[in-house]
Structure 1
C-alpha cells in the first residue's frame, strides 16, 4: 500500500524519486565515518513529511533495518580484529575501544542512511506507475518492466501460499512439535514446495505475457503518461546537493574516512 500521493515529493515522477534515492545512497557509500551517514539520516527524517510518510509508518516498515543495524553493531563490537583507540569497556573477553565503536557505528548508520531512501521511494510509489515511468522515461524494455511489475505483484501471494502449505500439512498430521531438527526439515520441505509453486506460476505468467505480445518488438502505446518535469529534475539535483552537504560536514569535522584510499 502506497502513501503520500498528495505530498509535494510523494507525487513526483517515480524515476525521479528512484534516481534521487540512488544518488543520495551512493554518496553515503563513499565514506566509512559515522558523521556523514548520521547527518544523512537527520536529513532523511527531516524531509519525511514532504513525502507524506508518517514517522510511525516509517518505523513500522523499517524495523527490520533497525534490527539489522543493531546486529551489525554487536557483531563488530564482539568480533572486530582491530581494537585500536582508547579503551571504553573491558570485561573479560569483551573489549570495547573507541576505534571499534566508531567502526561499528559507521557501518550501522551507513546501512540505515543507504536503505532509508529506498524505503521512502517504494512507500510512496505505486508499482504500476514505476513500471510505466521506466518504460516511458528510461526507455526500459516493456517485457522487463512489466515482468518485474508482475513478479512484484505476486510477492504477497507467496505469504498466502506458505500459510496454505503449512495448514495443509498440519491437517495431514505433519507437525514438527518442539523438535528443532524436525522443525528445520519441515521448513526446508515447505520452502522447496513454495519454490516449485513459484516457478510454475512464473512459467505460466511468462507464457501469458508472450501470448499477449510483450515480446513482439512492436511499438506499444501507454495508458497513463508519466512526465519528467522541472520539479522532478530539481528533486534529483536537491538529493545530490544534500548528499554533498552531509559529506562536507564530515570533511570539515575531520572525520571523513574514504572507502577507497
Structure 2
C-alpha cells in the first residue's frame, strides 16, 4: 500500500485529473522561457495559494525538502558550467562564473521550485485508486494501461517490505554483516528476480479475471469533475498567464526556441 496524506478540505473534492492538468499546464508554460522573472512571479503566487491548501506546514516542508535541496544544487552547477557572457568573476579549468551563467543559474533555481512545488503539493493528496478512476473515466485513457499502472504502483510498498525481508534473511544467515556494496548488488538482483516473478503472477491473475478483455469496463466508483476542478485549472492558467505577462512587460522573456 502507498502512503497518502489525508486530503484537506480545500483539496478533498477536486478530481485527481484536474490536479494533474493544473500542474502540467503550469509546467508547460514555465519551461517555454529561461528567465527568473516569470518563474519568480509564478512561485510567489503559488506560495500564497499553498497557505489555503490545508496541508500541514510540517508535512509540506518534509515532502518538498528534496526540491528545496535539488534546486540550489542545479543552480550551482549552471553557475559554474553554464554559458559564459558578460563580466567574468571566476574561471578555472572548465568552471567559468560570469554574469550570464549567474543569471541562468538564478532562472534555473527558481524555475525548478516553481514547477516542482505545486506538483508535490497537489500529488501528496492523491490516492492512486482515485487517480486511476479519473484517468480512465475523465481522461479516457485505456483501462488496461490504467489498471496495469495502478497495480504496479500498489506493489511499491511490497517491494520495500521485500527489501527489508531480504536484508533480515541475509543477516540471519550471517552473510549481511560485511561488504555493504556487494550486499547491495546481491539484494538488488534478488529483488529484481522476485519482482519479475510477482509481476508475471499478477499479470496472469488479472488476465484470468478479465482485466485485459476487449469489452468496455464498468467502474465501482464514478469519477466526476465539477466547479472546484474548473476553478483549480483556471487558477493554474491564471498563474501561468500572470508570469508570462510580467516577464514580457519587463523585457525578460527569453523563449527557449530562440536560443
User: Shift in Å at residue 238 of structure 1?
Assistant: 2.4
Match of residue 48 from structure 2: 46
Q: Residues of 1 paired with 2:43 and 2:157: CA distance?
A: 29
8 Å contact 1:7–1:52 — kept in the other structure?
yes
In structure 2, the CA distance between the partners of 1:90 and 1:150, relative to structure 1 (3 Å rule), is same
* CA deviation vs aligned residue, 1:31-90 (integer Å, no higher than 9, x gap): 11122112222222211133321332122112122222122122222333x322234x43
* CA deviation vs aligned residue, 1:99-148 (integer Å, no higher than 9, x gap): 11111121222222222222122211111111111111122222221221
User: Shift in Å at residue 231 of structure 1?
Assistant: 3.0
Pick which of 119-128 and 214-223 moved more. 214-223
Match of residue 4 from structure 2: 2
Which of 180, 185, 192 lines up with 2:182 in the alignment? 185
Q: Residues of 2 paired with 1:190 and 1:108: CA distance?
A: 36
Equivalences, count: 255
Which of 211, 215, 221 lines up with 2:218 in the alignment? 221
8 Å contact 2:81–2:96 — kept in the other structure?
no
What is the DSSP-based 3-state SS (H/G/I as helix, E as strand, rest coil) of the residue aligned with 2:10? coil
Q: Residues of 1 paired with 2:176 and 2:126: CA distance?
A: 41
Match of residue 68 from structure 1: 70
User: Shift in Å at residue 209 of structure 1?
Assistant: 0.9
Q: TM-score, normalised by structure 2?
A: 0.89
8 Å contact 1:4–1:53 — kept in the other structure?
no
Match of residue 24 from structure 1: 26
Q: Residues of 2 paired with 1:27 and 1:10: CA distance?
A: 26
User: Shift in Å at residue 237 of structure 1?
Assistant: 2.4
Match of residue 156 from structure 2: 155
Which of 244, 247, 257 lines up with 1:247 in the alignment? 244
Q: Residues of 2 paired with 1:34 and 1:154: CA distance?
A: 40
Q: Residues of 1 paired with 2:45 and 2:187: CA distance?
A: 43
- Where does structure 1 lack aligned partners over 5 or more consecutive residues? none
- Where does structure 2 lack aligned partners over 5 or more consecutive residues? none
What is the DSSP-based 3-state SS (H/G/I as helix, E as strand, rest coil) of the residue aligned with 2:84? coil
8 Å contact 1:4–1:11 — kept in the other structure?
no
Match of residue 196 from structure 1: 193
Q: Residues of 2 paired with 1:246 and 1:14: CA distance?
A: 24
Match of residue 55 from structure 1: 57
